[in-house]
């Protein structure tokens, strides 16, 4: 995954550089409420401006499904971005066509132009050849800086990369380098923490991880299905009973790969799933009729902390209990804080990703001390599943070289 072309190796002076960014930002009443994704694009934008490129930004916003939805325009992003770069950012109400071409023709070196939502065109998500041609006609060089969209074979992520000399931006490079260091070329031992509600949503993930890591801890509702596969009666807990045979195969694969699977041994249970209900601490083999497992117990957390303490690399996806409903956040927060302390001290490389994971780590006030936290969502999960990401594959050195001959 590391044999990709990087923007540092490109001569961009005076060139029209099309940059795919992730500006799918939170917005309310036409106002950007969180500029994190804008800030993540700053290193690449600054690099290109300083190098004398004409910077042309491509992005999607929401799911307009090929139609012009006014509430999904990127125009409100232009001023917040201009405030960050301390320079004007021009906006054009389309991402292809005469208006876009005319605005680009008027650009000076170092100028920044934001084009309208690529998903206003149906050809974007279909990776339509004519639409990709129209995008590519606007630039001399393509830079992908949106890892969060790299798992989609869209025109602005993969199609355009097959038509222009293409490179990875600095934010995308940072994401890839950390993920490779965590799973493809890690310092061992490696422990993975996987949580969430259902095994069915993470079968590919579990099957890939048992081949890659030394220890796999499974928490959350997912753990109930694996416990049930071992003969534990989880009573009223969330459990995918139809996947018990599949879960058993995961144990077999782990044994063959030399991966140790850790599951909760004690749990916090309740008969009602609501904030602050009456709870009971129970051994996993002593869950009573009508009770639901909603968090790991203290003995499990101690064992997990000890396992983390022996690891050199940690990968985390998914909360370990129903963390959004008190008091079932305890295990997740305790593990997050311990991991953060180990990472801050330099004893552990800690990489995490996924929407619920990020929210849980923020709740634990542990995010700042993790080595790296991916906000890419689906792309992060597919990478952990061992799947090829089209937007990244198109940036590989052999693929990029082929594009230059087109």
- Asked if residue 201 lies in contact with residue 322, where contact means CB atoms within 8 angstroms, the answer is no
pLDDT tens digit string along 87-139?
Answer: 999 999 999 999 999 999 999 999 999 999 999 999 999 999 999 999 999 99
Position 389 scores a pLDDT of 94
Is residue 71 pLDDT above 70, yes or no? yes
Is residue 405 pLDDT above 90, yes or no? no
For range 1-18, the mean pLDDT: 92
Owner of token pair 């302390």? 341
Position 307 scores a pLDDT of 97
Is residue 402 pLDDT above 70, yes or no? no
Phi, psi of 11 (to 5 degrees): -90, 105
Rounded distance between C-alpha atoms, residue 240 and residue 108, angstroms: 59
Position 278 scores a pLDDT of 98
For range 337-344, the mean pLDDT: 97
Position 2 scores a pLDDT of 61
372: which 2 tokens?
A: 């790296």
Residues 367 and 394 in one domain: no
- Residue 15 pLDDT class (50, 70, 90 cuts): very high
Rounded distance between C-alpha atoms, residue 385 and residue 70, angstroms: 36
Rounded distance between C-alpha atoms, residue 200 and residue 197, angstroms: 9
For range 288-314, the mean pLDDT: 97
pLDDT tens digit string along 364-373?
Answer: 999 999 999 9
- Residue 406 pLDDT class (50, 70, 90 cuts): very low
Position 404 scores a pLDDT of 57
Which residues have a Cβ under 8 Å from the Cβ of 128 and sit 6 or more positions away?
122, 155, 159
Residues 345 and 211 in one domain: yes
Residue 381 lies in a domain: no
Cis peptide before 327 (omega within 30 of 0): yes
Structural domain range at position 65: 7-175+389-404
- Percentage of residues of the chain with pLDDT beyond 70: 97
Which residues have a Cβ under 8 Å from the Cβ of 106 and sit 6 or more positions away?
none
Residues 283 and 163 in one domain: no
Residue 180 lies in a domain: no
Residue 220 lies in a domain: yes
SS3 366: coil
Residue 217 lies in a domain: yes
Rounded distance between C-alpha atoms, residue 304 and residue 294, angstroms: 17
Residue 259 lies in a domain: yes
pLDDT tens digit string along 254-299?
Answer: 999 999 999 999 999 999 999 999 999 999 999 999 999 999 999 9
- Asked if residue 392 lies in contact with residue 150, where contact means CB atoms within 8 angstroms, the answer is yes
Position 354 scores a pLDDT of 83
Phi, psi of 2 (to 5 degrees): -90, -10
Residues 203 and 349 in one domain: yes
For range 190-202, the mean pLDDT: 93
Q: Please say whether the dihedral angle defined by the alpha carbons of residues 93, 96, 99 and 105, taken in this order, is positive or negative.
A: positive
Residues 198 and 160 in one domain: no
| Domains of the chain: total | 2
Is residue 358 pLDDT above 70, yes or no? yes
Is residue 377 pLDDT above 90, yes or no? no
**Average model confidence (pLDDT) for the chain?**
94
Residues 215 and 341 in one domain: yes
Is residue 184 pLDDT above 90, yes or no? no
Is residue 399 pLDDT above 70, yes or no? no
Is residue 75 pLDDT above 50, yes or no? yes
Angle at the Cα of 150 (from 145 to 153), degrees rounded to 5? 125
Kindly list the catalytic residues: 37, 198, 355, 378
Residues 304 and 394 in one domain: no
Residue 380 lies in a domain: no
Is residue 318 pLDDT above 70, yes or no? yes
Entry pTM:
0.87
């Amino acid at each position: 995954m590391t044999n990709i072309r990087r923007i540092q190796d490109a001569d961009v002076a005076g060139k029209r550089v099309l940059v795919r960014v992730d500006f799918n930002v939170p917005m309310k009443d036409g106002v950007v409420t969180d500029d994190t994704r804008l800030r993540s694009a700053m290193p690449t934008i600054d690099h290109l401006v300083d190098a004398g490129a004409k910077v042309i930004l491509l992005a999607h916003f929401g799911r307009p499904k090929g139609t012009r939805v006014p509430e999904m325009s990127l125009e409100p992003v232009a001023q917040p971005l201009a405030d960050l770069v301390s320079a004007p950012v021009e906006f054009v109400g389309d991402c292809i066509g005469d208006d876009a071409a005319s605005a680009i023709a008027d650009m000076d070196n170092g100028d920044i132009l934001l084009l309208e939502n690529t998903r206003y065109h149906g050809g974007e998500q279909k990776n339509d050849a004519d639409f990709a041609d129209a995008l590519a006609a606007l630039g001399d060089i393509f830079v992908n800086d949106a890892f969060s969209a790299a798992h989609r074979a869209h025109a602005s992520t993969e199609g355009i990369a097959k038509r222009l000399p293409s490179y990875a931006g600095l934010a995308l490079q940072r994401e890839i380098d950390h993920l490779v260091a965590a799973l493809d070329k890690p310092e061992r031992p490696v422990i993975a923490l996987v949580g969430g509600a259902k095994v069915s949503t993470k079968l590919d993930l579990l099957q890939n991880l048992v081949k890659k890591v030394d220890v796999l801890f499974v928490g959350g509702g997912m753990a109930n299905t694996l416990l049930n596969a071992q003969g534990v009666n989880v009573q009223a807990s969330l459990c995918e009973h139809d996947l018990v045979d599949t879960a058993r195969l995961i144990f077999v694969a782990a044994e063959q790969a030399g991966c140790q699977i850790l599951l909760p041994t004690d749990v916090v249970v309740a008969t009602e799933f609501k904030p602050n209900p009456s709870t009971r601490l129970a051994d996993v083999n002593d869950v009573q009729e009508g009770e639901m497992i909603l968090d790991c117990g203290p003995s499990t957390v101690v064992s997990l902390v000890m396992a983390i303490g022996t690891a050199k690399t940690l990968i985390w996806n998914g909360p370990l209990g129903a963390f959004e409903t008190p008091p079932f956040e305890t295990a997740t927060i305790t593990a997050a804080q311990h991991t953060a302390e180990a990472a801050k001290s330099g004893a552990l490389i800690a990489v995490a990703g996924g929407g619920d994971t990020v929210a849980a780590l923020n709740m634990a006030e542990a995010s700042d001390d993790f080595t790296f936290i991916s906000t890419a969502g689906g792309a992060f999960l597919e990478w952990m599943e061992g799947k090829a990401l089209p937007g990244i594959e198109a940036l590989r050195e052999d693929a990029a070289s082929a594009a230059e001959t087109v």
